[in-house]
């Protein structure tokens, strides 16, 4: 008889940042110290990848035992805390994303996911070498000061390869030393420039301080009109955390636009916060990631992805402009950063603040039912009144043909400019004109691979598809009938509006702000600063200008097409239009004089327009909440969209139909569709949508999981995306 002796090997499950839901088992080599959360390098196929030990595996499949690969090494970064690991599991489960994809967001630092390499420095330590070359001479000139230089930097500066350095190190001319760690960012000083709050603000300040120091999971809605001091008030919560030395995350919908915010933060706390967004250089990403992980970074201001950073001791989350749809990520893992921020706060047992002048309907309902605490700021700071809003009925007072600024609006702009004030003309349409057609034959320029018109961009002199980026030079000749110079621009875009404004007000200085005209965050910030300093009279902008800016001289806002967002069949159209227009008009009259807002509309009797004109926010929420309740839309029910796309129409539609047929029966969940998507073709891919609509209590995630488990996998060019809590219905 043979006795089988097996060495008790420790086995752990490691999650790797690739599009997989399951973790893999690895053996732990003797002497390697790992625990759940340890960041490790493991072999995966032919590569080595950075992964995270997710759990001990006390009872691995014995058949696997001897075939298991071993963990390579432990990466020298703090382990991912349980809090973050649970959050990753939660987000993956809720959004039906692969856990590896969610982990990827947490490990994203620099370009690679691997460990941050300790940067090597070189220093000149002895006399020049015997053998001299031109390359060596250039390099020695760079390091002649005897100071420590970054190895790669020195090579670049001297225009030599790092091999030249290595050879001089071998010969003893240079030594290699690790570059010192960058100094920790200075901590914000809570009493650097604390403001004096007004008696009106005091109750909110007290409530905010109590909220921040509650040491438990609590959600507060900081609710106040634009300019009421919400930022000042939540800075008090940040100050409380700074006193306790805990970390704060401030989420912003559009980090590119927050230059003013960073300055304001510095004015209040004496230091700038750290930023986190997609445009950081790989090196500063790696550095920030490490500083967040070891607790040196105290305050992070970031886009939604900052939610996945490995905070050492997160004490508070603030979600500014919580209603903003930019918080929804619609590629990869489809998650809503505001909702996931609440989840993260819940897991970490910390308070969270949602700030908005126009809360999402979901948040408003939670505040009305008392699940969230409402901390209200009653009015604008400094006695500034809210702008007065008027509708201009385009059916009676429209602009002349081919023009878009109505006579009453033009008159108001003229007066503002004469007074030396600023005016903002708002139109949420990039480019010159949304449609180009041939006057001779009626031909319309459409994208060849999307179901969309090409948008005329005169600054670039091209026709551009806003869905796939396809573009072509603006032709002089109609491709269909061959006629020359017959092409007509139909409808307005911001570029065309600028042309009109310049013609109407030749003395005024105009500026267009539109995301496609911005080359970098820096130019964007510079342009916004120019406006704030008053060097522009008429600003013409898309929704880019709506968000959070403070332009002291701006008193007039004209909305060129208030109906634009109301037209489509999107269940959130009313809410979104209300929020956006409120926010845009809120730019007016923030500092001096009375703000004025004009809404050009064909339907002045529409509830959204009426609520805006009457400044009756409650009326809007009352009617919107009622209608959501009646129709079972969020938050009175939950939705998930399934989007099937593919290169051929019949196969795509067929797959969508098969999915629908396989949907499990459920008393509280209805599956609607498939229907052709409003954007029926994007990038040559046909699109069909299914919508699962669940009653409030139903477990929609489990339902979807069960459905997908029994459904065929998309093959070939077919693709299936699942969007839980969809924001976009296109
Ligand atoms: P919101 O975030 O609600 O739009 P802000 O916090 O930006 O409002 O406040 C609007 C303006 O009023 C800002 O310039 C802000 O600095 C100023 N402000 C608000 N409250 C105070 C205060 N108590 N003392 C001094 N300035 C204040
Ligand atoms: Zn296209």
Average pLDDT over every residue of 554-564: 93
Nearest residue (by CA) to ligand 1, atom 19, is: 229
372-420 residue pLDDT tens: 999 999 887 877 777 899 999 999 999 999 899 999 999 999 999 999 9
Model confidence at 116, pLDDT cuts 50, 70, 90, reads low
Average pLDDT over every residue of 64-92: 89
pLDDT tops 90 at residue 570: no
CA of 592 to the centre of ligand 1 (A): 13
275-328 residue pLDDT tens: 998 888 887 888 899 899 999 999 999 999 999 999 999 999 999 999 999 999
The answer to whether residues 711 and 645 touch, using CB atoms and an 8 Å cutoff, is no
Considering the four listed CATH numbers 3.30.420.40, 3.20.20.70, 3.40.50.300, 3.40.50.2020, the one that applies to the domain covering 202-381 is: 3.40.50.300
Q: Is the peptide bond before 674 cis (omega within 30 degrees of 0)?
A: yes
3-state secondary structure 350-401: CEEEEEECCCCHHHHHHHHCCCCEEEEECCCHHHCCCCEEEEEEHHHHCCCC
Starting at the edge strand found earlier in the chain, the sheet holding 455-457 runs: 455-457, 462-464, 471-473
**Residue 477 has what DSSP assignment?**
B
213-238 residue pLDDT tens: 999 999 999 999 888 999 999 999 99
pLDDT for position 96? 94
Q: Which CATH class is domain 11-110?
A: alpha beta
Q: Which of 199, 232, 353 gets mutated to test ligand 1 (max ligand atoms within 8 A of its CB)?
A: 232
CA of 238 to the centre of ligand 1 (A): 15
Q: Strands, DSSP E only, in 202-337?
A: 218-224, 247-251, 274-276, 299-302, 314-320
Residue 165: phi and psi, rounded to 5, are -65, -45
DSSP conformation letters of 526-543: HHHHHHHTT--SEEEE-G
Model confidence at 660, pLDDT cuts 50, 70, 90, reads very high
Ligand nearest to the CA of 320: 1
Model confidence at 357, pLDDT cuts 50, 70, 90, reads very high
Q: Which atom of ligand 1 is nearest to the CA of 233?
A: 6
pLDDT for position 382? 76
What's the whole-number average pLDDT of the chain?
90
**Residue 326 has what DSSP assignment?**
G
pLDDT tops 80 at residue 118: no
pLDDT tops 70 at residue 110: no
Q: Is the peptide bond before 635 cis (omega within 30 degrees of 0)?
A: yes
pLDDT for position 678? 84
CA of 201 to the centre of ligand 1 (A): 10
pLDDT for position 8? 66
255-270 residue pLDDT tens: 766 778 999 999 999 9
508-544 residue pLDDT tens: 999 998 878 777 778 888 888 888 898 999 999 998 8
Considering the four listed CATH numbers 3.30.70.600, 3.20.20.140, 3.40.190.10, 3.10.129.10, the one that applies to the domain covering 637-724 is: 3.30.70.600
pLDDT for position 493? 94
Model confidence at 7, pLDDT cuts 50, 70, 90, reads low
The reply to whether CATH 1.10.490.10 applies to domain 384-429+492-626 is: no
- The model's pTM: 0.86
Q: Which of 224, 229, 550 gets mutated to test ligand 1 (max ligand atoms within 8 A of its CB)?
A: 229
23-68 residue pLDDT tens: 999 999 998 999 999 999 999 988 888 999 999 988 877 666 667 8
CA of 459 to the centre of ligand 2 (A): 19
Q: How far is CA 686 from CA 463, 651, 680, in A?
A: 22, 9, 6
Name every protein residue with a CB atom under 6 angstroms from any ligand 1 atom: 195-198, 201, 224, 226-232, 381, 550
Average pLDDT over every residue of 163-168: 90
643-656 residue pLDDT tens: 999 999 999 999 99
Model confidence at 182, pLDDT cuts 50, 70, 90, reads confident
pLDDT for position 548? 65
């Amino acid at each position: 008889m043979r006795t089988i002796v097996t060495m008790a090997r420790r086995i752990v499950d490691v999650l790797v940042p690739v599009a997989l839901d399951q973790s893999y088992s690895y053996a732990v080599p003797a002497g390697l110290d790992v625990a759940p959360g340890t960041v490790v390098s493991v072999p995966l196929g032919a590569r080595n990848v950075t992964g995270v030990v997710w759990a001990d595996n006390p009872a691995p499949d014995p058949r696997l035992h001897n075939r298991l690969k071993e963990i390579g090494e432990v990466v020298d970064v703090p382990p991912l805390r349980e809090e973050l690991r649970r959050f990753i599991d939660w987000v993956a489960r809720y959004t039906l994303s692969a856990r590896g994809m969610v982990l990827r967001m947490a490990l994203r630092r620099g370009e690679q996911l691997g460990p941050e390499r300790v940067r090597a420095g070189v220093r000149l330590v002895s006399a020049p070498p015997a053998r001299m070359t031109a390359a060596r001479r250039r390099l020695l000139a760079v390091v002649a000061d005897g100071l420590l230089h970054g190895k790669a930097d020195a090579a670049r500066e001297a225009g030599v390869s790092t091999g030249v350095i290595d050879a001089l190190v071998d010969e003893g001319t240079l030594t290699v030393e690790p570059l010192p760690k960058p100094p920790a960012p200075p901590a914000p000083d809570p009493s650097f420039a604390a403001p004096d709050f007004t008696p009106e603000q005091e109750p909110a300040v007290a409530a905010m301080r109590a909220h921040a120091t509650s040491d438990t999971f609590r959600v507060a809605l900081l609710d106040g009109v634009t300019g009421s001091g919400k930022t000042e008030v939540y800075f008090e919560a940040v100050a409380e955390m700074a006193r306790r030395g805990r970390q704060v995350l401030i989420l912003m919908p559009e980090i590119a636009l927050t230059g003013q915010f960073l300055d304001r933060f510095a004015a209040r706390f004496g230091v700038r916060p750290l930023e986190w967004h997609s445009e950081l250089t790989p090196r500063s990403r790696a550095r920030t990631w490490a500083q967040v992980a070891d607790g040196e970074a105290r305050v992070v201001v970031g886009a939604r992805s900052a939610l996945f950073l490995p905070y050492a001791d997160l004490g508070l989350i603030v979600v500014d402009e919580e209603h903003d749809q930019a918080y929804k990520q619609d590629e990869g893992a489809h998650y809503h950063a505001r909702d996931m921020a609440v989840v993260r706060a819940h897991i970490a047992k910390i308070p969270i603040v949602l700030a908005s002048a126009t809360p999402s309907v979901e948040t408003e309902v939670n505040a009305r039912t008392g699940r969230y605490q409402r901390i209200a700021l009653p009015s604008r700071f400094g006695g500034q009144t809210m702008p007065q809003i008027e509708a201009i009925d385009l059916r009676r007072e429209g602009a002349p043909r081919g023009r878009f600024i109505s006579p009453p609006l033009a008159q108001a702009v003229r007066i503002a400019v004469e007074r030396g004030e600023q005016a903002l003309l708002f139109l949420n349409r990039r480019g010159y004109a949304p449609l180009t057609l041939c006057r001779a034959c009626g031909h319309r320029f459409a994208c060849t691979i999307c179901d969309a018109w090409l948008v005329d961009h005169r600054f670039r002199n091209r026709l551009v598809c806003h869905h796939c980026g396809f573009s072509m030079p603006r032709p002089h000749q109609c491709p269909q009938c061959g006629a020359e110079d017959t092409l007509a621009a139909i409808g307005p875009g911001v570029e065309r509006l600028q042309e009109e404004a310049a013609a109407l007000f030749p003395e005024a200085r105009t500026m267009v702000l539109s995301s496609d005209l911005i080359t970098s965050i820096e130019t964007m910030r510079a342009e916004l600063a120019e406006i704030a300093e008053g060097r522009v009279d008429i600003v013409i902008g898309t929704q880019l200008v709506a968000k959070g800016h403070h332009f002291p001289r701006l008193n007039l806002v004209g909305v060129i097409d208030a109906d634009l967002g109301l037209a489509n069949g999107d269940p959130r159209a009313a809410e979104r239009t209300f929020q956006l227009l409120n926010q845009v008009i809120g730019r007016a009259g923030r500092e001096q004089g009375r703000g004025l807002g004009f809404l050009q509309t064909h339907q002045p009797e529409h509830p959204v327009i009426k609520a805006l004109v009457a400044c009756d926010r409650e009326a809007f929420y009352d009617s919107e909440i009622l209608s959501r309740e009646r129709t079972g839309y969020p938050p009175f029910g939950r939705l998930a969209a399934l989007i099937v796309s593919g290169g051929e129409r019949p196969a795509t539609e067929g797959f969508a139909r098969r999915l629908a047929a396989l949907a499990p029966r459920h008393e509280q969940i209805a599956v609607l569709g498939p229907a052709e998507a409003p954007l029926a073709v994007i990038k040559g891919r046909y699109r069909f949508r299914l919508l699962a609509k669940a009653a409030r209590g139903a477990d929609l995630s489990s339902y979807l999981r069960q459905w997908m488990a029994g459904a065929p996998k998309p093959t070939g060019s077919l693709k299936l995306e699942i969007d839980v809590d969809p924001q976009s219905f296109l």
